[in-house]
Chain A
């Protein structure tokens, strides 16, 4: 054991882990067992080995965590080197996860970092189940949403509507842009999940195609015209690759020509790259601050050695420094983390009609294609395999109210190949909905 090699190695951390305190988390029990469990038992997954990921691996290893996995599909680029301190010029082109894992293990003796050089969707959902805490160092909303749906899929509720504690998989998330960033802690079912507060992420700026084609006014308009319209016209059949310098140069040259034609100046190669690749400015200090905030919260979740932060921390470093936490509310009807999305159903509704109603419901648009339905662990209708489909098919013509034991409301679990996890639907039966609702409830 590394700890026994150097008994005073964790002296600073031990202040927090061995001593009782007054401002600590619920159930905090100081003692050497805490460090032992950090070193031996707890497994943490870091998603992303970029600006935040590199910092996170260092921070977690130096917070006593002994078993860390890291997953990233990217390879190292020269432009990473101003902040991703685990990488060197000679590493350019190598997988980030592998280089990062090796460097941290070399420096921090006793820690095991297992790299996964792949996309997050390539891993089976059960892969994520094996970790106690998942820490996100990502730059895309899509990837965050995916992981959110995975952990919300693990969540189960008790009969009384309270979340089953053993199914809560904590997520810690960080994000940065220039001098700004955020850190947040998500306990699915207890604190708001990503889907509850999607509004926190600003919408992406896109230009109307008619502006690009007919009335360009800015350098970005010229660049996007070359990128989105001209490439397809002039280089048919070739797919555009933003990492191919010849492709980027072509876009730049075309944009400059278009700029000359429309009297628009200020088109540079750097701006072309920025617009086409949607580059977000990034610096070492913000990444360090946000990642360490996330790692410290991870340590608090694992040991309860201090009070946790409120839901969401906002960081702004442009004018002085603002670091404040904001308590957001959960969306009680969230399709990801709520005990059940409310759906009103007519008392005479059959299971088949109910499934049709779900497919028309705008809240589940693009999320459902062939839903299977279960109630309290019983399969009411299964789309596959064929044997089960055949067995449950007769239920389709039965009244849903009967299938749900005549109760006036209850939660159904919906599974669908388009869903990462399960969709919980809280059905409430109402009389006389049928005629009015079938058109409106479905809606757009």
Chain B
């Protein structure tokens, strides 16, 4: 256990023990183990997933030795799935390793039930038709699907899940929820203990900024008909008037820096609003714990919360005496605990209403939910079948005209190469002798595709079309490492239910090292 914790130390600091446990119970299937599939799996094996299964029918060829690190010369001519499986196993002995020497396309036809055993399937280097079939199976069997494609100097990653709920979205810019604009009674009575104009200079410069802001806002309201300052500048002037410049007071510097949060307390984000308004929050006996907690959250906000979600209870460091700060911290924590208890009460009532008293939701789960209530996310992915048949042409047409980058064109072309393969039984540009013909064939297929989608008339840049033909469906190691790397990262987000996965189709342009997520 100690060695496990040491081995995973640098990632435990990101997703915690519970995130690691989620990885360790995950069963992942990878379809095709060229460099894209192998690299995606490599990162997951290093991170310590429970087990993996590789599905690939091909044999190790000379070309594999030039672009895939997870095959060796000794396995030339042997099963690629077997070779990659063995070399991956070396990377982490605690991961279960299996392989099936069969083509994913054949397996989809012969044994769709095969996929039900997995938590997540990564489909690499597959074309439209089998992907549609795979998605249908995965949705039916509630298996998460991640699609990854490396194509010359271009790439694509797409997630397909029915619904993915995230409690710990861990956004980069977390908002401080301090309620300085409306302190609750316990906080108010602590604030009342302070005389911020004390003549004791040492105390004056050790009063936490949260107390200063509440006090100064309160004083302003008293002399301004109960109204807060009209803007931050006025409030900052009022703060500056109370500080003692000669004392170089850090607490006042912090108060000035945070002055805006009194006037602009955190609002309900559009993502949270969407979760609250989601139909799934009208719960019944079949609802998941997540939606039951969302339903309880709504009741909390309508009642005890007075429009606000539960307090998370965390406060930033504040320049202050230790005891002032610790007391303040305890007041926030106590309020957060009280909010959890209130939400817990709503959860219990809801469970009773829907006849689920026998399987309660643990307080620790409700606590985690409340702590992250402001940052809840729900991800629902469009079906590939909708995307492929949708009338998204006009949006693509707009993007092709507006977007300076080549990502929308790459998106259309990556789909067009599959149509090319379906028509000619090979990818464009695989033969040197037919490059010119392939460029015009690919272009007319791409234009036809756009027309079918309702985006006729949009133009595709010539040089991007010819570059796609130049790539000849080659799998460049570095591109595979990037696309596979991104696919593995998205798998980790899905499996740990932490952070926010891609919402749309991720298009990677290795020519310029840029990307774009398209919503079509």
The answer to whether A and B assemble together is yes
Binding site for B on A (CB under 8 A): 6-16, 19-23, 55, 58-59, 62-63, 78-79, 81-83, 85, 88, 107-109, 178-179, 183, 211, 215-218, 262-264, 270, 273-274, 279-286, 288-289, 291-293, 295-297, 299, 306-307, 309-310, 313, 316-325
Please measure, in the bound complex, the distance between the C-alpha atom of A13 and the C-alpha atom of B13, giving whole angstroms: 38
> CB-CB < 8 A to B73: which residues of A?
109
Q: Are B91 and A85 in contact (CB under 8 A)?
A: yes
Q: Are B515 and A323 in contact (CB under 8 A)?
A: yes
Q: Are B322 and A216 in contact (CB under 8 A)?
A: yes
* Known A-B contacts A79-B9, A288-B39; A63 and B46 likewise in contact (beta carbons under 8 Å): no
Please measure, in the bound complex, the distance between the C-alpha atom of A83 and the C-alpha atom of B14, giving whole angstroms: 14
> CB-CB < 8 A to A317: which residues of B?
486, 489, 499
Q: Are A323 and B514 in contact (CB under 8 A)?
A: yes
**Given A263-B322, A296-B482, 5 extra CB contacts under 8 A:** A16-B470, A263-B323, A279-B9, A281-B13, A307-B512
Q: Are B513 and A323 in contact (CB under 8 A)?
A: yes
> CB-CB < 8 A to B281: which residues of A?
none
Which B residue sits closest to A207, measured CB to CB?
B317
Of A82, A216, A319, the residue contacting B499 (CB under 8 A) is: A319
Q: Are B326 and A82 in contact (CB under 8 A)?
A: no
> CB-CB < 8 A to A14: which residues of B?
474
* Known A-B contacts A262-B326, A263-B326; A284 and B170 likewise in contact (beta carbons under 8 Å): no
Please measure, in the bound complex, the distance between the C-alpha atom of A313 and the C-alpha atom of B322, giving whole angstroms: 43
Q: Which of B102-110, B236-244, B336-344, B460-468 lies at the interface?
A: B460-468
Q: Are B510 and A306 in contact (CB under 8 A)?
A: yes
Q: Are B66 and A12 in contact (CB under 8 A)?
A: yes
B508 located at the interface, meaning its Cβ lies under 8 Å from any Cβ of chain A in the complex: yes
Please measure, in the bound complex, the distance between the C-alpha atom of A62 and the C-alpha atom of B65, giving whole angstroms: 8
> CB-CB < 8 A to B152: which residues of A?
15-16
Q: Are B478 and A295 in contact (CB under 8 A)?
A: yes
> CB-CB < 8 A to B48: which residues of A?
82
Which A residue sits closest to B329, measured CB to CB?
A217
Binding site for A on B (CB under 8 A): 3, 5-14, 35, 39, 42-43, 46-48, 61-63, 65-69, 72-73, 90-92, 152-153, 169-172, 206, 317-323, 325-326, 429, 432, 435, 462-464, 466-467, 470-472, 474-479, 481-482, 484-486, 488-489, 492, 499-504, 506, 508, 510-515, 517
Please measure, in the bound complex, the distance between the C-alpha atom of A316 and the C-alpha atom of B171, giving whole angstroms: 11
- The 4 tightest CB contacts between A and B, nearest first, are A292-B481, A288-B485, A22-B463, A309-B513
> CB-CB < 8 A to A279: which residues of B?
9-10, 13
Please measure, in the bound complex, the distance between the C-alpha atom of A387 and the C-alpha atom of B511, giving whole angstroms: 56
Please measure, in the bound complex, the distance between the C-alpha atom of A108 and the C-alpha atom of B73, giving whole angstroms: 8
Q: Are A55 and B463 in contact (CB under 8 A)?
A: no
Of A79, A178, A179, A292, the residue contacting B478 (CB under 8 A) is: A292
Q: Are A85 and B46 in contact (CB under 8 A)?
A: yes
Looking at B72, B323, B470, the one whose CB has the most chain A CB atoms below 10 A away is: B470
Q: Are A318 and B482 in contact (CB under 8 A)?
A: no
Please measure, in the bound complex, the distance between the C-alpha atom of A353 and the C-alpha atom of B503, giving whole angstroms: 65
Which A residue sits closest to B512, measured CB to CB?
A309
Q: Are A62 and B477 in contact (CB under 8 A)?
A: yes
Closest chain-B Cβ to A280's Cβ sits at a distance in Å of 8
Looking at B48, B72, B432, B489, the one whose CB has the most chain A CB atoms below 10 A away is: B489
> CB-CB < 8 A to A306: which residues of B?
153, 510-511
Closest chain-A Cβ to B168's Cβ sits at a distance in Å of 11
Q: Offer 24 A-B interface pairs, CB within 8 angstroms, sorted by A.
A: A7-B62, A12-B475, A19-B470, A21-B467, A63-B476, A63-B478, A81-B46, A82-B7, A82-B48, A178-B14, A215-B322, A270-B12, A281-B14, A283-B10, A283-B492, A284-B42, A288-B42, A313-B513, A317-B499, A320-B504, A321-B489, A322-B515, A323-B508, A325-B514
Q: Are B476 and A321 in contact (CB under 8 A)?
A: no
> CB-CB < 8 A to A9: which residues of B?
62-63, 65-66
Q: Are A78 and B3 in contact (CB under 8 A)?
A: yes
A-B pair number, CB within 8 angstroms: 251
Q: Are A320 and B326 in contact (CB under 8 A)?
A: no
* Known A-B contacts A21-B467, A297-B513; A83 and B10 likewise in contact (beta carbons under 8 Å): yes
Q: Are A321 and B69 in contact (CB under 8 A)?
A: no
> CB-CB < 8 A to A8: which residues of B?
61-63
Q: Are A217 and B13 in contact (CB under 8 A)?
A: no
Of A85, A273, A282, A318, the residue contacting B500 (CB under 8 A) is: A318
Please measure, in the bound complex, the distance between the C-alpha atom of A292 and the C-alpha atom of B513, giving whole angstroms: 11
> CB-CB < 8 A to A284: which residues of B?
42-43, 46-47, 485, 488
> CB-CB < 8 A to A178: which residues of B?
14
Of B65, B91, B486, the residue contacting A109 (CB under 8 A) is: B65
> CB-CB < 8 A to A281: which residues of B?
10-11, 13-14
> CB-CB < 8 A to A20: which residues of B?
470
Q: Are A289 and B489 in contact (CB under 8 A)?
A: yes
Q: Are A320 and B502 in contact (CB under 8 A)?
A: yes
Q: Are A293 and B482 in contact (CB under 8 A)?
A: yes
Q: Are A15 and B463 in contact (CB under 8 A)?
A: no
Please measure, in the bound complex, the distance between the C-alpha atom of A323 and the C-alpha atom of B91, giving whole angstroms: 29
> CB-CB < 8 A to A81: which residues of B?
7, 46, 92
* Known A-B contacts A63-B478, A295-B478; A16 and B153 likewise in contact (beta carbons under 8 Å): yes
Q: Are B462 and A22 in contact (CB under 8 A)?
A: yes
Looking at A88, A178, A264, A323, the one whose CB has the most chain B CB atoms below 10 A away is: A323
Closest chain-A Cβ to B117's Cβ sits at a distance in Å of 24
Looking at A23, A183, A285, A286, the one whose CB has the most chain B CB atoms below 10 A away is: A285
Which B residue sits closest to A296, measured CB to CB?
B478
Closest chain-A Cβ to B252's Cβ sits at a distance in Å of 16
> CB-CB < 8 A to A316: which residues of B?
172
Q: Are A16 and B517 in contact (CB under 8 A)?
A: no
> CB-CB < 8 A to B171: which residues of A?
318-319
Please measure, in the bound complex, the distance between the C-alpha atom of A7 and the C-alpha atom of B43, giving whole angstroms: 30
Of A15, A16, A58, A292, the residue contacting B485 (CB under 8 A) is: A292
Which A residue sits closest to B150, measured CB to CB?
A12
Q: Are B500 and A319 in contact (CB under 8 A)?
A: yes
* Known A-B contacts A8-B62, A178-B14, A306-B153; A285 and B485 likewise in contact (beta carbons under 8 Å): yes
* Known A-B contacts A12-B63, A21-B466; A215 and B500 likewise in contact (beta carbons under 8 Å): no
Q: Are B65 and A16 in contact (CB under 8 A)?
A: no
Please measure, in the bound complex, the distance between the C-alpha atom of A88 and the C-alpha atom of B485, giving whole angstroms: 21
Q: Are A321 and B484 in contact (CB under 8 A)?
A: no
Q: Are B66 and A10 in contact (CB under 8 A)?
A: yes
Closest chain-B Cβ to A13's Cβ sits at a distance in Å of 6
Of A13, A319, A320, the residue contacting B476 (CB under 8 A) is: A13
Which A residue sits closest to B72, measured CB to CB?
A107
> CB-CB < 8 A to A10: which residues of B?
63, 66
Closest chain-A Cβ to B208's Cβ sits at a distance in Å of 9
> CB-CB < 8 A to A21: which residues of B?
466-467, 470
Q: Are A296 and B479 in contact (CB under 8 A)?
A: yes
Of B6, B90, B481, B501, the residue contacting A55 (CB under 8 A) is: B481
Please measure, in the bound complex, the distance between the C-alpha atom of A317 and the C-alpha atom of B464, giving whole angstroms: 27
Of B11, B508, B513, the residue contacting A183 (CB under 8 A) is: B513
Q: Are A62 and B153 in contact (CB under 8 A)?
A: no
Q: Are B517 and A320 in contact (CB under 8 A)?
A: yes
> CB-CB < 8 A to B499: which residues of A?
179, 317-319
Q: Are B67 and A217 in contact (CB under 8 A)?
A: no
Closest chain-B Cβ to A65's Cβ sits at a distance in Å of 11
Please measure, in the bound complex, the distance between the C-alpha atom of A109 and the C-alpha atom of B76, giving whole angstroms: 13
Please measure, in the bound complex, the distance between the C-alpha atom of A262 and the C-alpha atom of B327, giving whole angstroms: 11
Closest chain-B Cβ to A297's Cβ sits at a distance in Å of 7
Q: Are B13 and A325 in contact (CB under 8 A)?
A: no
Q: Are B65 and A179 in contact (CB under 8 A)?
A: no
Q: Are B14 and A11 in contact (CB under 8 A)?
A: no
Q: Are A285 and B492 in contact (CB under 8 A)?
A: yes
Which A residue sits closest to B5, measured CB to CB?
A270
Which A residue sits closest to B482, measured CB to CB?
A292
> CB-CB < 8 A to B35: which residues of A?
62
* Known A-B contacts A15-B472, A63-B478, A295-B478; A79 and B69 likewise in contact (beta carbons under 8 Å): no
Q: Are A285 and B326 in contact (CB under 8 A)?
A: no
Please measure, in the bound complex, the distance between the C-alpha atom of A20 and the C-alpha atom of B12, giving whole angstroms: 47
Please measure, in the bound complex, the distance between the C-alpha atom of A147 and the C-alpha atom of B435, giving whole angstroms: 44
Of B61, B66, B476, B481, the residue contacting A16 (CB under 8 A) is: B476
